[in-house]
């Protein structure tokens, strides 16, 4: 049984160069965003939607992973929970990313044009839901709810560091039970509002689950990367192959889950063959988009599937690091594929598409370095910590 190292759980700062890099990336990202909005507001807004959905999925998925740990009574993930909590802190800043979008709703959403809604029977029927005021209320409500749960989870978890009160774990378990259905609804609302309503005539009942699989993958790979980096640099010294194997296995499971859901969505629409649904896929199967679609299958499923198939590869930290970055990129590509065909004009790929994600990385790193400075790296008061550290497969 491994005993906790003497310096375990101390607050430590990230190295100076990481913090500096984080701020440089953040400022560079803000400058790029500004330039994008000045030069081509419509294109910048569409890219902004991709970036917003990306970081929202990391933040929401991280809260989901915290809740999952409590609800399932998982032991293995306890020593690493703080990394997930740090990522969940993004919930506080993600709404800022959507603020510029609120000023460009007309560029993004066909349904905001009154004359278009009046002319189309389907849109008129959806008008009570697709209403700008209601849209903003929903957006605010989703992030209020996420921040509320994030705040309670993390408050209980950090309080436990000093009080070591096992009742706080029970509280969080109850909270997690409430959060799960709430998360299911809010994550669906997010993707329906920001991605599905870009094509207001289209609907797919499975899109919420589709985005959910992406959120968990994004949060999990971001957490995996952070955890391995922490481990390698001595922030989380007590992790072993068994812990990494569990992370890898969960990643592998959700890779399959994503493919399962993505194919289910395609199969149902292909089978029913209704013009009001198929046009969405047809749009992604012409004018070059078919190559992006095939690339998405390869990048998001085939490559990670084979890269994480064997038992050894799930424990190999080098492989896991590579695959978590890969899957984050794949999720970005997934959202690009989801959002950008509506922008039109072929396959938009230029400095905006490459440059905008810099802001996301910068934002995540700044939040991470800020949280690392103010928190213990390990939940030292968690009653399951001892068992988590000595976790065996």
Q: Quick one: 84 exposed, middle or buried, by C-beta within 10 A (0-12, 13-18, 19+)?
A: buried
CB of residue 219 to another protein, shortest distance in Å: 27
Identified binder of another protein from the candidate list 39, 118, 132, 267, rule CB under 8 A:
267
In the bound complex, what is the minimum distance in angstroms from residue 298's beta carbon to another protein?
17
Residue 295 or 393 having the CB closest to another protein: 393
∠ at Cα 367 (314, 175), nearest 5°?
A: 75
Contact segment (CB under 8 A) with another protein among 41-49, 167-175, 269-277, 356-364 equals: 269-277
Nearer to another protein, 381 or 388 (CB): 388
Tell me how far, at minimum, the Cβ of 321 lies from another protein, in Å.
24
Contact call for residues 236 and 228 (beta carbons, < 8 A): no
Nearer to another protein, 271 or 291 (CB): 271
Residue 370 touches another protein, criterion: CB under 8 A = no
**Window 53 to 82, contacts with another protein (CB under 8 A):** none
Closer residue to another protein, CB minimum distance, 72 or 124:
72
- Closest to another protein by CB, 36 vs 388, is 388
Cβ proximity to another protein, 121 vs 273, nearer residue? 273
Check residue 275 for interaction with another protein (CB under 8 A). Answer: no
Q: Which stretch binds another protein (CB under 8 A): 107-115, 125-133, 166-174, 264-272?
A: 264-272
Tell which positions 120-149 bind another protein, by CB under 8 A: none
Contact call for residues 22 and 366 (beta carbons, < 8 A): yes
Q: Which of 311, 318, 346, 354 binds another protein (CB under 8 A)?
A: 311
291 binds another protein (CB under 8 A): no
User: Which of 294/393 has CB closer to another protein?
Assistant: 393
Interface residue with another protein, options 103, 134, 148, 263 (CB under 8 A) = 263
Binding positions for another protein, rule: CB under 8 A: 263, 266-267, 270-271, 273, 311, 392-393
């Amino acid at each position: 049984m491994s005993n906790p190292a003497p310096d375990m759980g101390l607050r430590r700062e990230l190295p100076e160069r990481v913090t500096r890099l984080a701020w440089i990336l953040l400022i560079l990202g803000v400058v790029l965003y500004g330039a994008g909005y000045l030069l081509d507001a419509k294109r910048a807004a569409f890219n902004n939607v991709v970036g917003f959905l990306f970081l929202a999925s990391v933040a929401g998925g991280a809260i989901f992973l915290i809740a999952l740990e409590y609800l399932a009574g998982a032991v293995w993930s306890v020593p690493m929970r703080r990394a997930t909590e740090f990522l969940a802190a993004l919930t506080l800043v993600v709404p800022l990313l959507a603020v510029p979008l609120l000023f460009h709703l007309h560029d993004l959403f066909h349904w905001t044009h009154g004359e278009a809604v009046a002319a189309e029977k389907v849109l008129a029927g959806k008008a009570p839901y697709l209403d700008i005021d209601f849209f903003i209320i929903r957006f605010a409500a989703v992030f209020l709810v996420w921040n509320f749960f994030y705040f309670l989870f993390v408050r209980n978890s950090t309080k436990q560091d000093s009080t070591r009160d096992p009742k706080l774990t029970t509280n969080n378990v109850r909270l997690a039970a409430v959060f799960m259905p709430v998360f299911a609804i809010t994550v669906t609302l997010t993707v329906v509002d920001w991605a599905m309503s870009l094509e207001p005539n289209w609907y797919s009942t499975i899109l919420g689950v589709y985005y959910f699989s992406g959120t968990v993958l994004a949060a999990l790979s971001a957490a995996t990367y952070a955890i391995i980096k922490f481990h390698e640099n001595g922030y989380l010294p007590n992790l072993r192959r068994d812990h990494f194997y569990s992370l890898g296995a969960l990643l592998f499971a959700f890779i399959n889950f994503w493919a399962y859901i993505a194919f289910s969505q395609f199969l149902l629409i292909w089978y029913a063959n209704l013009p009001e649904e198929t046009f969405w896929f047809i749009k992604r199967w012409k004018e070059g988009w078919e190559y992006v679609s095939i690339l998405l299958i390869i990048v998001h499923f085939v490559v990670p599937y084979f890269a994480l198939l064997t038992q050894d590869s799930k424990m190999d930290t080098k492989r896991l690091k590579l695959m978590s970055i890969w899957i984050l990129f794949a999720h970005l590509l997934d959202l690009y594929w989801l959002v950008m065909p509506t922008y039109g004009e072929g396959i938009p790929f230029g400095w905006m598409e490459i440059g905008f994600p810099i802001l996301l990385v910068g934002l995540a790193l700044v939040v991470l370095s800020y949280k690392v400075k103010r928190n213990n790296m390990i939940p030292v008061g968690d009653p399951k910590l001892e068992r988590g550290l000595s976790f065996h497969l």
